[in-house]
Amino acid sequence: MKIYTKTGDKGKTSLLGGDRVKKYDLRIAAYGTADELNSWLGLLKDQEIPEDDVTFLVEIQNKIFTIGSHLAAIGNKKVNLSIPAIEESDLTVIEIRIDEFQEKLPPMKNFILPGGHTTVSYCHLARTVCRRCERLVIELSDSEDVNPLIVQYFNRLSDFLFVLSRKLSHHLGAVETTWNSKK
């Protein structure tokens, strides 16, 4: 497979199915941000974190790649049929993991500032990119037929990444700094 095709040299790119759009098209921004999120998750899973978290992050990365394919195929029903589905069970898996983590963490009493350890910071960066991706997908859904489970997936995933940051803080012995709202 040749990496460079020169077909994007004039500022356009192809969606799945062959439609050509400007590289700043909202669909490109949405799945490009999903790709950015996937890269942050790759960096996060490359840290010294528990193996079961690495395995779960790889599952999430695969699902995000699938979601990116759905976003790139919007409007092309034939292509959509060949992409794995996004299902309620994808959300449930994340919710179960969040609940498992929270059972073992001290309850939150204040907002927590990002940081405390490089690995935790990577997790927060992934979370904020996830939120940006969610906003772009919501915006895209105003003009295109976007599966609502995609928005829900990014919403749930950002919650997961926050709870994972707390879990990793405790795992790594990092201090959770709370927001001092009185200053």
- What six digits make up the tokens of 129? 């990119």
- What six digits make up the tokens of 152? 């829900």
**Which tens digit of pLDDT belongs to each residue from 107-140?**
988 899 999 999 999 999 999 999 999 999 999 9
Beta bridge partners of 12: 22
> pLDDT at position 28, please?
83
Residue 104 and residue 160: Cα distance in Å, rounded? 14
> pLDDT at position 73, please?
86
CATH number, domain 12-103+110-172: 1.20.1200.10
Q: What are the strands, taking DSSP E only, across the chain?
A: 12-14, 20-22
Nearest to 175 by CA among 95, 114, 86: 114
Predicted confidence (pLDDT) at residue 176 exceeds the cutoff of 70: yes
Residue 160 and residue 173: Cα distance in Å, rounded? 20
Query: Which pTM does this prediction carry?
Result: 0.90
User: Where are the domains positioned within the chain?
Assistant: 12-103+110-172
**Which tens digit of pLDDT belongs to each residue from 19-52?**
766 666 788 889 999 999 999 999 999 999 999 9
Phi first, then psi, for residue 175 (nearest 5°) are -85, 130
Average pLDDT over the chain reads: 90
In which band, very low, low, confident or very high, does the pLDDT at 11 lie, cut at 50, 70 and 90?
Answer: confident
